[in-house]
Amino acid sequence: MAAIARLAPAKVNLFLHVGPLEADGYHPLASLVAFADIGDRLTVEPAERLSLAVCGPFAGALEGEGDNLVLRAVRALGAAAGIGEPGLRITLDKQLPVAAGLGGGSSDAGAALKLARDALGLPLNDEALAGIAAGIGADGPMCLHARAAWAEGRGDALTFETSLPPLPALLVNPGVPSSTGAVYRAFDDSASGSADRPLPPSAWDPASILDWLATQRNDLQAPAVSLAPAIGEALAATADLPGARLTRMSGSGATVFALFDTAAAAEAAGVALSALRPGWWVRPTVLR
């Protein structure tokens, strides 16, 4: 069998409302998530044993990580299917920054699950794979499906949103990691936020969505900026770009996004920002 490949798309929280820490140790949340047309890329081919090779511009950030989410997911798939550890050679082309609020690890695991299922010819649908992904992390199911969705609970209660149109965007990472645990601890210290799910926009055209999103928030943004001021710099620089209609941080950071009216405007803004900040990771995309 020839090698097969799949994109592991970046996840973006268009808004993220977070409630106080509960007795089970988790924070309830409400979010509308979309997925970019860029991300990491995984390739899988049959082999005598399970292995993972990582390449790409952000491969170095994963050095020494002997049991990352990709390997854990594929081993869990083998256990669920009753076949033991699968014999697969996996290559991860790491194009997304690490600890960036883009769901990279969970998206990689989701893509690996789908590729491993197909390579092994296992009779498992995506819902069965989502159950396995849930054991890897709370956002495993959403990244496995990689579809626009309302996420609630721990992020694993999903309602798919088919009305969301393509949204031209720019993703910007200032080159600093943002620790999810540290951001949540800072959020707990601030004691501000609620996991309220807002009513949907009055209409699902891009202009109405932009107006509606402007009334939402990311409750983790202020705590993240307090820990990593570079995120604030990225928010300010991105908001100043011509044509930027809305700017917000994704997840627990450090990546921020800006929404634009057209893909051409997002691309032009990306060129301008890259010239001003050559050390930043800047990518135009379309969120779907």
Q: 146: left (phi > 0), else alpha (psi -120 to 50), else beta? A: left
The catalytically annotated residue of 11, 40, 93, 114 is 11
- Phi, psi dihedral angles at 253 (to 5 degrees): 80, 175
| CB contact burial 53-71 (16+ within 10 A = b; e otherwise) | ebeeebeebbeeeeebbbb
- Phi, psi dihedral angles at 206 (to 5 degrees): -55, -40
Q: How far apart are CA 110 and CA 143, in angstroms?
A: 6
Q: Which residues face 40 on adjacent strands?
A: 8
Q: Please say if 11 is a catalytic residue.
A: yes
* Residue closest to 94 by CA, chosen among 40, 51, 52: 40
The catalytically annotated residue of 40, 108, 139, 219 is 139
Q: Please say if 94 is a catalytic residue.
A: no
Residues marked as catalytic: 11, 139
